[in-house]
Amino acid sequence: MPQDIAFLERLLDAHGPSGFEVRAARIWREEAERVTDDVRVDVSGNSFATLNPKGTPRVMLAGHIDEIGLQVTHIDKEGFLFVDEIGGWDPQVLVGQRVRILARDGDVPGVVGKKAIHLMTSEERGKASKTKDLWVDVGATSRDEVVDLGVRVGDAMVLDQRMIRLANDRIASRAIDNRIGAYVVLEALRLLSEYRPTASATAVATVQEEIGYSGGGARPGAFALEPDVAIVVDVTFSTDVPDANKKELGEHEIGGGPVISRGSASNDQVFE
């Protein structure tokens, strides 16, 4: 790629599901300290980087840094882990995936399993997989062995997949939703730092969006900042893929630039 995306790659590869964003947030703040001296974190885990803190108006640029994941709900006597979702999953994506469990004494690798297709009835084969019917195998043969690995009920996990580079200067990653938003708002702040705006501009890497149906970490972050205007950067669907309904979703292609959201839930003056 022509541009240096080393920071983006580190950010995407860091493990940080909702409620467990510490690693990714730390990488973001370390990079933010190269842009401004005013870098901080709140009790919720939101990370802030501010230029010209006494300026007006106050502008908030937000992108959530958490990703979807899984969480251990039960460890059976044979050493298999059963899980629930952190955020919204298509369970078909999970089958056969390698995972990384964020355990007490260090990360533990595992593999997502399900009933073998050879053992399924014809009716079972026609049904979509459900997360509650899957399990994670860490290689243990008993619950005690799992405990000895440092794995506990409540531990989070993510897919064990790193960023990859594709043709045409494109990338793929399990965490583009929405590390890319957290990356973009910090890069915007970096560009603003070259001009020292009269406004106060704060980039915020917010937490818990994937589980925050009432606003996640963005809500307490905005409450603390009291911005005059907030611009949120998140992902959307590309419609240059098979079976995308452009009449319903609009027309926006990968590489086509930013998509500006407009609707009753956003401010029309900010849109203009």
Is 272 annotated in the active site?
no
| Separation CA 258–CA 236 (nearest Å) | 10
| Separation CA 242–CA 245 (nearest Å) | 9
Catalytic residue from among 21, 31, 67, 209: 209
Distances (CA, A) of 100 to 82, 95, 106, 174, 209: 14, 14, 10, 13, 21
Query: Cβ neighbours of residue 80 under 8 Å, at least 6 residues apart?
Result: 113, 135, 136, 137
Residue 125, classed as helix, strand or coil, is helix
| Separation CA 204–CA 22 (nearest Å) | 14
| Separation CA 109–CA 238 (nearest Å) | 32
Phi, psi of 84 (to 5 degrees): -125, 170
Contact in structure between 101 and 181 (CB atoms under 8 Å):
no
Query: Cβ neighbours of residue 17 under 8 Å, at least 6 residues apart?
Result: 66, 67, 68, 69, 70, 71, 86, 87, 156, 157, 158, 210
Tell me which amino acid residue 79 is.
G
| Separation CA 211–CA 69 (nearest Å) | 10
Residues known to be catalytic: 209
